[in-house]
């Protein structure tokens, strides 16, 4: 079975062309292929599939086998794969995801996709619809205690649930200790991605993320979108800012007219491979 490894600012997935390959159990395959030392090593597996309502469909599986609705870095790589590998010649694509159909605009130079802008849609701010057990629209600064520390969380869904908290220094924050506890806190019935954020100024933000079903990753596109949303809701930044993650930078914009979040960032091929374990 052929696959391609790609990354978007360090958020790396294994991509399988579902037009050519048939996968019976993608969840189990994601666990096996994503293992370090015994597999390829990745944050998970993404299938590129036909769609009846968009140009393409993506299904995303974390490296623990759980399926997620949406991945911002992953969908940019899907767009690059589809264009640069000749599945389409369009530079304006629609991709069906578990969080609905997303529209992507490709910046193509000399036939190669250098960056992709993704219309991530409107953020969901209703606490019960995110989902959390906390009513309110929006839910800002809700205190959650784990491991003897209290984190005020601003809740956002970008098709998947996020809890955003502001800290003095993300590099020293106990992300790998308190992130897992916050992910499975009872107020998140479907678990959540947790972002630890520092606002540098009104157009620059740094963050680290504990991703639901994966652990700490170098980047999270939906997380960066949730962070910009939370920053605006808390009055800390402008509606467009550069978000710096351990793996690189994304530009996130919350449009005042259509209320959609727009994410722009790179997508990179790493290597092509053939999986031999059946």
- Write out pLDDT tens, residues 51-95: 999 999 999 999 999 999 999 999 999 999 999 999 999 999 999
Under 8 Å between Cβ of 245 and 10: yes
Chain region(s) in the chain for CATH 3.10.310.10:
2-121+265-274, 142-259
Euclidean distance between CA atoms 151 and 10, whole angstroms: 27
Is 71 marked active-site? yes
Q: For domain 2-121+265-274, say whether CATH 2.60.40.10 is its number.
A: no
List pLDDT tens digits, range 150-184.
999 999 999 999 999 999 999 999 999 999 999 99
Under 8 Å between Cβ of 259 and 229: no
Is 220 marked active-site? yes
Euclidean distance between CA atoms 56 and 205, whole angstroms: 32
Euclidean distance between CA atoms 237 and 244, whole angstroms: 14
Q: What average pLDDT is seen over the chain?
A: 97
> Would you tell me which CATH number, out of the four given (3.10.110.10, 3.10.310.10, 3.30.465.10, 2.30.30.100), belongs to the domain 142-259?
3.10.310.10
pTM (predicted TM-score):
0.91
pLDDT reported for residue 277: 78
pLDDT reported for residue 229: 98
List pLDDT tens digits, range 168-226.
999 999 999 999 999 999 999 999 999 999 999 999 999 999 999 999 999 999 999 99
Helix %, strand %, coil % for the chain, to 5? 15, 45, 40
Q: Which of 190, 264, 177, 257 is nearest to 224 (CA)?
A: 264
Burial class of residue 241 in the structure, from the number of CB atoms within 10 Å of its CB (0-12 exposed, 13-18 middle, 19+ buried): buried
Active-site hit among 77, 82, 220, 231: 220
Q: Which of 85, 86, 88 is nearest to 104 (CA)?
A: 88
Active-site hit among 71, 82, 225, 231: 71
Q: What is the mean pLDDT of residues 125-132?
A: 98
pLDDT reported for residue 72: 92
Considering the chain, what percentage of its residues have pLDDT values greater than 70? 100
pLDDT reported for residue 278: 66
């Amino acid at each position: 079975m052929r696959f391609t490894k790609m990354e978007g600012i360090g958020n790396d997935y294994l991509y399988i062309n579902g037009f050519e390959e048939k996968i019976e159990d993608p969840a189990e395959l994601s666990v096996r292929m994503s293992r370090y030392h015994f597999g390829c090593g990745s944050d998970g597996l993404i299938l590129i599939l036909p769609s009846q309502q968009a140009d393409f469909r993506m299904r995303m599986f974390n490296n623990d086998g759980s399926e997620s609705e949406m991945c911002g870095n992953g969908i940019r790589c899907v767009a690059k794969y589809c264009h640069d590998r000749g599945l389409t010649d369009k530079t304006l694509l629609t991709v069906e995801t578990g969080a609905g159909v997303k529209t992507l605009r490709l910046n193509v130079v000399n036939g190669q996709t250098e960056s992709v802008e993704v219309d991530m849609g409107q953020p969901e701010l209703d606490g019960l619809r995110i989902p959390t057990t906390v009513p309110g629209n929006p839910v800002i600064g809700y205190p959650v205690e784990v491991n003897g520390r209290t984190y005020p969380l601003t809740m956002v869904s970008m098709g998947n649930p996020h809890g955003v908290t502001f800290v003095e220094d993300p590099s020293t924050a106990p992300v790998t200790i308190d992130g897992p506890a916050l992910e499975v806190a009872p107020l998140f019935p479907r678990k959540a991605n947790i972002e630890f954020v520092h606002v540098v100024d009104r157009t620059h933000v740094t963050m680290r993320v504990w991703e639901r079903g994966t652990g700490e990753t170098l980047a999270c596109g939906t997380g960066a979108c949730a962070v910009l949303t939370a920053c605006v809701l808390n009055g800390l930044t402008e509606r467009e800012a550069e978000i710096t993650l351990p793996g690189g930078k994304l530009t996130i914009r919350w449009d005042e007219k259509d209320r959609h979040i727009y994410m722009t960032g790179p997508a990179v091929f790493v290597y092509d491979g053939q999986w031999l374990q059946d």
